[in-house]
Structure 1
Amino acid sequence: MTVLSIRKVGDPVLRQIAEPVTVFDAELHQLVDDLNETLAGSRGAGLAAPQIGVGLRVFAINPDLPGNEIRLDHLINPGLEFPDDDEQNGPEGCLSIPGIYLDTKRRMNVVARGLTKHGDPVQIVGAGLLARCIQHETDHLDGVLFIDRQDPEGQERILATLREAAWADTRIQLSPH
């Protein structure tokens, strides 16, 4: 397992729609292991494959997130359903946008269906922080960052701040998706 570099906002891979996984082999197992190791090293809640430069529909989540009763640490080719209209609004951050936390509206409850690295079907029912994490990581697979979920004024303020950050790529823009 390897701790990999996390791509920062402005990197084009973060704006691309990730491809579905079709082959469940040793290379995929290594990707899942690398995602988990990198996530553990960063002490985050979740990490999507595009954040380490891999354009596949895979993400890792911290298995210790509240509500993760099956303690699953990854999901492949996720599909989301929302069992109700309840929403939450709270602080959200991103390993690809270090040091920035913004109140972000998300659905309170989610049902995520996908596959394990062995190709077995799995379902995660999440609420609160777990639901937020699953939605955030699925957004990464669709080329969407949490800054895209801000109102237009908030987006412009955060983009201006990011463009001035020493670590930021000057190509930062909102999602085309």
Structure 2
Amino acid sequence: MSALPVLRWPDPRLTQRCGAATLGPDLDRLAADMLAVMYHERGRGLAAPQVGAMLRLFVMDVAWKEGPAEPQVFVNPEILWMSDDRTEGPEGCLSIPGVVAHVSRAASIRLRWTSLFGAEQEAGFSGLAAICAQHEIDHLDGVVTLDRLSPAARAAALAEYAA
């Protein structure tokens, strides 16, 4: 297992917008290490800034806890479309352990990204995959779940985190 540490909030790197990622062996290694960390920490997604790499890269596997692993790597992702339909549900974050926040998200999205092999990809996501992708892209933009909460809900989450 890689020795990549998961940054914990309020590390200032978690509030910074990430720069573009460049394909190559270093990015391949980083993505593989991130997947290993994500599985070890029992997460469903992990963004590069959560391990201190300020790059537009995230990994995701929303299926592995219920079935076979389906790891995905997203390089320089962008949301092309978001549904008007909303879904609200509990979200955890590896960078804010022990806190579960109820966040409103688009129920469906369409993403464009580059694969580690340099292929342009585009696909729609719904349900848990849409929620997870939006959560990870938030990290790439310097946004954490706490930033998506009302002042009262944020205060309650911060109290839970401090406990």
TM-score normalised by the chain length of structure 1: 0.83
CA distance in 1, matches of 2:143, 2:27: 23
> Between the two proteins, what is the percent identity of the paired residues?
36
- Write the letter of the residue equivalent to 1:89: E
Look up the SS of the partner of 1:122 in the other structure: strand
Other-structure match for 2:35: 36
CA distance in 2, matches of 1:146, 1:89: 12
- What's the offset of the Cα at 1:52? 0.4
- What's the offset of the Cα at 1:160? 3.7
1:76-95 equivalent positions in 2, closer than 5 A = 76-95=75-94
- Write the letter of the residue equivalent to 1:76: V
Q: Is the 8 A contact 1:63 1:73 kept in 2?
A: no
- What's the offset of the Cα at 1:125? 1.2
- What's the offset of the Cα at 1:2? 1.7
**Distance verdict in 2 for CA 1:107–1:42, change over 3 Å:** same
Provide, for residues 142-163 of structure 1, a one-character-per-residue CA deviation record: whole Å limited to 9, x for no partner: 000011111122122323443x
Other-structure match for 1:11: 11
Q: Is the 8 A contact 2:48 2:55 kept in 1?
A: yes
CA distance in 1, matches of 2:63, 2:89: 20
Other-structure match for 1:159: 158
Other-structure match for 1:117: 116
CA distance in 2, matches of 1:18, 1:118: 21
**Distance verdict in 2 for CA 1:83–1:50, change over 3 Å:** closer
**Distance verdict in 2 for CA 1:144–1:26, change over 3 Å:** same
**Distance verdict in 2 for CA 1:149–1:83, change over 3 Å:** closer
CA distance in 2, matches of 1:83, 1:37: 30
Look up the SS of the partner of 1:158 in the other structure: helix
Other-structure match for 1:52: 51
TM-score normalised by the chain length of structure 2: 0.90
CA distance in 2, matches of 1:12, 1:6: 13
CA distance in 2, matches of 1:13, 1:103: 23
**Structure 1, gaps ≥5 residues long:** 166-177
CA distance in 1, matches of 2:64, 2:100: 18
**Distance verdict in 2 for CA 1:72–1:161, change over 3 Å:** closer
Stretches of 4+ moved more than 2 A in 1? 63-66, 81-84, 156-162
- Write the letter of the residue equivalent to 2:47: A
* Structure 1 stretch displaced more, 75-84 or 101-110: 75-84
CA distance in 2, matches of 1:63, 1:31: 20
**Distance verdict in 2 for CA 1:34–1:83, change over 3 Å:** same
1:68-79 equivalent positions in 2, closer than 5 A = 71=70, 73-79=72-78
